[in-house]
Structure formats: structure tokens, C-alpha cells
Amino acid sequence: MALSQKQILTLKQTLSPQQIQMIKLLELPTVQLEQRIKQEIEENIALEEAERVDEENEPKEISVEEYLREDDTPAYKMRMNNYSRDDKQRPVYLTEGRSLQEYLVEQLGYRNLSEREMRLTVYLVGSIDEDGYLRRELESVADDIAFTLGIETTAEELERLLAVIHELEPAGVGARNLQECLLLQLRQLQMNSRPRRLARKILTNHFEEFVKKHYERLIARLQVSEEEFRDAISEIKRLSPKPGNLYAEGGTNTTPYIIPDFLLDYQDGHFQLALNSYNVPEVKINRRYVEMMRDMVQPNGRVREEDREALQFVKNKIDSAKWFISAIKQRHDTLMRTMQTILDYQQEYFRTGDRSKLRPMILKDIADRTGLDVSTISRVVNSKYVQTQFGIILLKSLFSEAMQTASGEEVSSYEIKTLLQRCIDEEDKRHPLTDETLMNLLNERGYCIARRTVAKYREMLGIPVARLRKQI
């Protein structure tokens, strides 16, 4: 096969390293930006953290009148009698409470277990999740014990030791599924009433029907009255589906701590928008390396051969520092420009905090108003939060699709979701509304919406189907 050469002209868009750096910085929320800047300061010798000007520590003019108004009361009369200047200020040590696993291990110490059984049971306790469930197969746990502890065991032995954990507090800990968890909690209660005995029977023999809320079928199968069945369901509702959550003395706190990227203040009918950069370090170029470059250049503009490599290294670092500072400034301008446009677009919402006041808004609406690309707007609103007078809001949650009413007016999907939530809250729980009924109610109010859209919005709101909302 003969080789041939051809010349092809193509149009191709490539991003420069500076543009890539800008895009990556734009995606970062405030917390990660702080870490990224500190990382860059460590890696680039030409970059250093600028000192912040503390307005509180700035020297202020001293007014003589302040001293003339001083009280003549001696200082010793302003202190309590049990306080002395010689007293040392002792630090207050904050300690975290015990975790669920530590609490369970402490209870195992009161059990009559051999050394081998104690080691195996403690390993089982370590396999329990924070909500109190053991979601691993006992065969897998036995294999891990053989590798880590060097102890040969079987699933049957671990099953026997798991029964010991089932007797510990909180009740239901160590269960493999919801049914076992609820039955373990019932086991620790006295079966001295008919509702509790009926509840145990329901969970033991008719758990699937109970979960799917086939109440009429259960009442007929158990041959009980509706009142007796309601009392049994009340006993089950008193149980905890996640027993580990009942022990909240210590352990890790999984609740995320959100630091807003924007601060929005609304006073006297005016908005004040600012970028939250309190913990973000301010950076500048280290002047020492600039002077070093200047010293390497001779008066005739030439550089000695032995200084060329060092000069090129310092030059690259200074250029990289300039690009990084420029990227941070450009990030600041892009964020403020985008957030100001969102604020102007959704002023009614930011005044009241009422989600029904949200206008239909997509990324293209903001991109057209700012003159930026849609992908840039997407990076700005992703994982960014704004602090308002009514709470911290995720910017992404402000965007919603437009729905058209019967009169041709465009409304936000949040308005329909709010109305859908209100209809479900006001429904008769003995006869909950189906998706088709909800569709008819919304259509009667002028919202042209299909049944599948009602189902989609209902799932987005975390609301189950009508059969699972039914109550006796």
C-alpha cells in the first residue's frame, strides 16, 4: 500500500493553560478555593500570602473626653471577691462523647465471654453501621477475621455471638434488615397487651403486606376490628427504624457544614451583595524574587551564563504567580457578575423567601444577560451557596423549568410543586389522592400538566404513591 501525504486545513479550538486554570478555579466553592490557594503558595516560591489589614487594630484618634468621663470607682471593687489577679486562667478542654461502637463494647464487658468470643464480638461491633444495622454477610466477616485477626471462625459461631449483641442497648442494634430490627425492639418489651401481641404477629407473619400498606387485606386476614388494628400499628410506629440514631451522645457528625460563597443583605428595600472571602487568603508576588531577577541582569541587559538557568526558573515562577492572581480576580468578577444577574432576575423571591415567587429560569437566561457561555454559568452555580435573610440557598435550586397555564402565562415548576404539596397535605389520609386525581385538580386550577409530570414532581418532593400514604 503506497504512502501519501495530504495537507488538511481544520478549525480547532484549544484552551490555553491559563484558561484551564481559570475554569478549575471557577468550579471551586469557597472552602476548596482556600485550600487551593494555600496549595499554590506552598508550590510556588514567587507567591506569598498578603497580610490583611485589620481595621479594629488600626490606630485611632484618642479623645480626651473619654478619659474625663471615666468612673472613679477603684478597679478592685469591679471584681468579685473570689477572683484574684494571680489566678491562672485554666483552659477548657472539650471532649467528644462515646461513639455507638464504644458504647456497645462497654456493655460487652459485663457479659460472660471468653477472650476469643470477646475479640470476635468486638470485630462484629466494628462492622455495624452508624444507624445500627449490620449490612455485611457473616461469611464475609468470617473471612475478614481470618485475615486480620488470624482466628478461624464460622458463620454459625458469629450468628451466636450476634445474638449477644442483639440483647444490648439500644434495642434493635445489629439487625440485618428492618423486620429483624423492629422484632428485636418488640422482644425487649413485655407482651402484656393485645396491641403488642398483634403487632408482633403482623411483623412476623405479614411484614410484606404491612410495608405495602395493604391494611384492608390484613384486617380481613387477621380477623380483627379496625380499632384493634389501629392500636397495633400505633405500637409499631413507636419503634425506631434506625436504632443507632437514638444514641447520639458521641460519634462523628455527618451533617455537612456549609460555608456560603455569597453574602446577601436586604435592608430598607436595598440589596447588598458581597463575595464571602473572609477565610480566603489574599496573595501577592514576592518582591524578593523580582529583585533577584533584577540583580541577575547586567547593566548592558545581558545575563551571565551561570545565571541563565536560575533566571529562567524564577521567571517561570513569577509568570505562574501572575497567571494565578489574574485567574482569582477573573473568578471574582465572573461570580459577582453572575450572582448580580440572578439577583436582578429573582428580586421578588430574594425579598420574601417565598418559593412560589421564583420566576422560571434556566442557565441560558442568565448566560444571555451576562454575555457568558452556558457552561460558565453552570460552573458558577454548581456547589455554590448564597446566604440570605431567610437562610442559606443553593444557587442550583433557583433554576426551574417553565410551565404554561391555560391562560398562556408562564409559571415556575416550584409553584406547581408547592400547590401539589398543599393538595397532598390537605387530602383525606384514609382515601389519599391518586396521581390522576391530582392531575385533574391542577388542570381545574389552570395548570396544564400530565399525569406522568405529577408523578415526577411527587417523587422529587419525596412523597410516596397514594397507596403508601394511606392511614387507618
Count of C-beta atoms within a 10 Å radius of residue 321: 22
* pLDDT tier at 124, thresholds 50, 70, 90: very high
Residue 352 reports pLDDT greater than 70? yes
Q: How far apart are CA 188 and CA 201, in angstroms?
A: 15
The pLDDT value given to residue 423: 87
Q: Which residue has the higher pLDDT, 67 or 112?
A: 112
The pLDDT value given to residue 393: 87
The pLDDT value given to residue 205: 92
Residue 254 reports pLDDT greater than 70? no
For residues 296 and 306, is the Cβ–Cβ distance under 8 A?
no
- Say if residue 271 is in the same domain as residue 345: yes
Residue 346 reports pLDDT greater than 80? yes
Q: How far apart are CA 309 and CA 313, in angstroms?
A: 6
Last residue in a domain, options 112, 137, 168 = 168
Residue 140 reports pLDDT greater than 60? yes
The pLDDT value given to residue 91: 44
Could you give the 3-state DSSP secondary structure of residue 163? Answer: helix
- Say if residue 181 is in the same domain as residue 161: no
The pLDDT value given to residue 253: 46
The grid cell for 260 is: 456560603
What is the domain-level CATH number for residue 408?
1.10.10.60
What total of structural domains would you count in the chain?
4
The pLDDT value given to residue 182: 92
- Say if residue 343 is in the same domain as residue 420: no
Phi-psi map region of 116: left, alpha, beta (phi>0 left; psi -120 to 50 alpha): alpha
Tens-place pLDDT, residues 412-453: 777 788 888 888 888 888 888 888 888 888 888 887 888 888
The grid cell for 346 is: 429573582
The pLDDT value given to residue 407: 66
- Say if residue 228 is in the same domain as residue 120: no
For residues 283 and 329, is the Cβ–Cβ distance under 8 A?
no
**Domain assignment of residue 44, yes or no:** no
Last residue in a domain, options 109, 134, 168 = 168
* pLDDT tier at 57, thresholds 50, 70, 90: low
CA of 55: how far to CAs of 58, 59, 61, 362, in Å? 5, 9, 13, 41
The pLDDT value given to residue 94: 42
The pLDDT value given to residue 58: 53
For residues 243 and 173, is the Cβ–Cβ distance under 8 A?
yes
Rounded to the nearest integer, the mean pLDDT of the chain is 80
3-state secondary structure labels for all residues of 226-277: HHHHHHHHHHHHCCCCCHHHHCCCECCCCCCCCCCCEEEEEECCEEEEEECC
- Percentage above 70 pLDDT, the chain: 83
Residue 266 reports pLDDT greater than 80? yes
The dihedrals phi and psi of 403, each to the nearest 5 degrees, come to -120, 145
- Say if residue 323 is in the same domain as residue 367: yes
Count of C-beta atoms within a 10 Å radius of residue 241: 15
* pLDDT tier at 75, thresholds 50, 70, 90: very low
Q: Nearest to residue 185, comparing CAs of 226, 117, 236, 247?
A: 236
Assess whether the previous peptide bond of 360 is cis (omega < 30° from 0). no
Q: Which amino acid, one-letter code, is at 255? A: T
**Domain assignment of residue 25, yes or no:** no
**Domain assignment of residue 210, yes or no:** yes
The pLDDT value given to residue 424: 87
**Domain assignment of residue 275, yes or no:** yes
Tens-place pLDDT, residues 386-401: 899 888 888 888 887 7
For residues 191 and 232, is the Cβ–Cβ distance under 8 A?
no
**Domain assignment of residue 354, yes or no:** yes
The pLDDT value given to residue 120: 92
- Say if residue 269 is in the same domain as residue 343: yes
* pLDDT tier at 404, thresholds 50, 70, 90: low
The secondary structure of residue 45, as a DSSP letter, is T
The grid cell for 389 is: 435573610
Last residue in a domain, options 117, 136, 168 = 168
For residues 381 and 399, is the Cβ–Cβ distance under 8 A?
yes
* pLDDT tier at 244, thresholds 50, 70, 90: confident
- Say if residue 338 is in the same domain as residue 268: yes
**Domain assignment of residue 6, yes or no:** no
**Domain assignment of residue 82, yes or no:** no
Least confident of 9-18, 235-244, 372-381: 9-18
pTM: 0.56
Least confident of 48-57, 109-118, 334-343: 48-57
Least confident of 91-100, 269-278, 282-291: 91-100
- Say if residue 273 is in the same domain as residue 361: yes
**Domain assignment of residue 139, yes or no:** yes
The pLDDT value given to residue 247: 65
The pLDDT value given to residue 14: 64
Least confident of 165-169, 185-189, 252-256, 300-304: 252-256
Q: How far apart are CA 183 and CA 163, in angstroms?
A: 13
Q: How far apart are CA 54 and CA 78, in angstroms?
A: 31
- Say if residue 320 is in the same domain as residue 443: no
Q: Which residue has the higher pLDDT, 218 or 404?
A: 218
Q: Which residue has the higher pLDDT, 265 or 86?
A: 265
Could you give the 3-state DSSP secondary structure of residue 61? Answer: coil
The grid cell for 381 is: 452555580
Question: Which residues form the domain of 370?
Answer: 262-284+315-398
Residue 256 reports pLDDT greater than 80? no
- Say if residue 459 is in the same domain as residue 438: yes
CA 123 to chain centre: 30
The pLDDT value given to residue 248: 52
Q: How far apart are CA 100 and CA 104, in angstroms?
A: 6
Tens-place pLDDT, residues 174-233: 999 999 999 999 988 888 889 899 999 999 999 988 888 888 888 888 898 988 888 998
- Say if residue 321 is in the same domain as residue 375: yes
- Say if residue 185 is in the same domain as residue 164: no
